[in-house]
Amino acid sequence: MELGLVGLGKMGGNMRERIRRAGHTVVGFDRNPDLADVHSLQELVDRLEGPRVVWVMVPAGAATQSTVDELAELLEPGDTVVDGGNSRWTDDEKHAEELAAKGVGFVDAGVSGGVWGLQNGYALMVGGDKEHVERVQPIFDALKPEGPYGYVHAGKVGAGHFSKMVHNGIEYAMMQAYAEGWELLEKVDSVENVREVFRSWQEGTVIRSWLLDLAVNALDDDTHLDKLRGYAEDSGEGRWTVEAAVDHAVPLPAITASLFARFASRQEDSPQMKMIAALRNQFGGHAVETK
C-alpha cells in the first residue's frame, strides 16, 4: 500500500526504510529538505491515491497539533491519519473529533523500538475504531517484530498512547533499579569488576532483559561511565503516568520514585543518573551530557 509519513527523524527515517523493505510505497515529508521526498504536506497529499493513510511522527504537543490541523484541511473523507508520536492520550480524543468532522479517520499508535527498530522491529500499541485500524494493518505488519507478538489493538482512540505511556513508566522504574544496583556495586571495595557482574546477569537470571544488555553495552564503551554527567531528562510520559495514577487512585510507588530521581539528577551529579543517561542513549539515541 501507499503511506504518507510526516517526520523523518531518528525513528521516522528508520520506519520509512523498514516499511519500504516490506514492499510498500512511502512518501515522506520533513522540514529538513535533505530528508524529504516532497517539500510540503500539500505535495505529500497530492502524491497519494485515495483513500490515503498519513502517519504523523513529529514531537507531541504543538507540532502534532499544527500537523493534524493542516491535514484536516488537505485530506478527503475516507482518508486516515495515524499519530505515531508520543502524544498524550487526551489529545487523541480531540484530534479524532476534529478529523471526524471532515470524514477522516484517526488512529493513535504508541511506538517502541527507538534506534533499534529498523533492525528488530517496532512494538506497536494501537487505539481507534476497527475500520480505521484495518486500513493501516499492512503498515503495522511491516513495522512489528517478526513472530506473533509486538502488536496489539489496545482499544478505542487514546488506548494506544495510554498503553505506551504506561510502558514508559515501567521503563523508568526498571532503569532506576539497574542504576541503583550499579551504583551500590561500584561503591563496594570487594567487587572489582562491576561490568562483568552485569554481564554475568545476562544469562540464567530472573533480571535479564534487553535493558540489561544495553547497560552492558554502555559499560563496554565506558567501564565506570566516567565520561558522563549524572543528568537524565524525562520525556513527559513518566509525568503523565504518575498524573494518571493520581487521577485513578492507583499506587505507583516505584514509577513515581524513579521520576523524582530524575528531577534530583538536575540538582547534583548523580552516579545513578549516569547509568540512566547511558541507557537512554543506548536504546533511543537520546543526547547525553558529558563532563
Task: Say how far residue 222 (Cα) sits from the centre of its chain.
Answer: 25
Which pLDDT value is given to residue 286? Answer: 85
- Mean pLDDT over each residue of the chain, to the nearest integer: 95
Which pLDDT value is given to residue 59? Answer: 92
Is residue 269 pLDDT above 80, yes or no?
Answer: no
Which pLDDT value is given to residue 189? Answer: 96
The pair phi, psi for residue 81, each rounded to 5°, is -110, 135
What pLDDT, in 10s, does the model give residues 92-127? 999 999 999 999 999 999 999 888 899 999 999 999
Mean pLDDT of 181-208: 97
Looking up cell 501507499 gives 2
225-237 CB burial, b ≥16 within 10 A, e <16: beebbbbbebbbb
CA-nearest of 282, 239, 281 to 258 is 239
CA 44/CA 79 separation, integer angstroms: 13
Pairing label, strands 151-155, 80-83 = unpaired
The pair phi, psi for residue 51, each rounded to 5°, is -70, 130
**pLDDT-derived band at 273, boundaries 50, 70, 90:** confident
Which pLDDT value is given to residue 268? Answer: 74
Task: Say how far residue 74 (Cα) sits from the centre of its chain.
Answer: 27
Active site residue 134: no
Mean pLDDT of 211-218: 97
Check 76, 131, 164, 203 and give the catalytic one.
164
Active site residue 171: yes
Which pLDDT value is given to residue 119? Answer: 93
Which pLDDT value is given to residue 88? Answer: 95
- Grid cell of 185 as nine digits: 556495586
CA 138/CA 123 separation, integer angstroms: 15
Which pLDDT value is given to residue 284? Answer: 86
Which pLDDT value is given to residue 247? Answer: 97
Check 144, 171, 183, 274 and give the catalytic one.
171
Mean pLDDT of 136-151: 97
Mean pLDDT of 217-222: 97
**pLDDT-derived band at 192, boundaries 50, 70, 90:** very high
Residues of the chain above pLDDT 70, percent:
100
CB 105 within 8 A of CB 81: yes
CA-nearest of 184, 193, 171 to 238 is 171
CA 93/CA 113 separation, integer angstroms: 25
H-type helices in the chain, by residue range? Answer: 10-21, 41-47, 62-74, 89-100, 117-120, 130-143, 159-187, 194-200, 210-221, 237-248, 253-265, 271-284
Which pLDDT value is given to residue 234? Answer: 85
Pairing label, strands 105-112, 80-83 = parallel
Mean pLDDT of 175-200: 97
Mean pLDDT of 264-273: 82
CB 67 within 8 A of CB 58: yes
Tell me which of 37-46, 111-120, 206-215 is least confident. Answer: 111-120
Which pLDDT value is given to residue 70? Answer: 97
CA 162/CA 109 separation, integer angstroms: 10
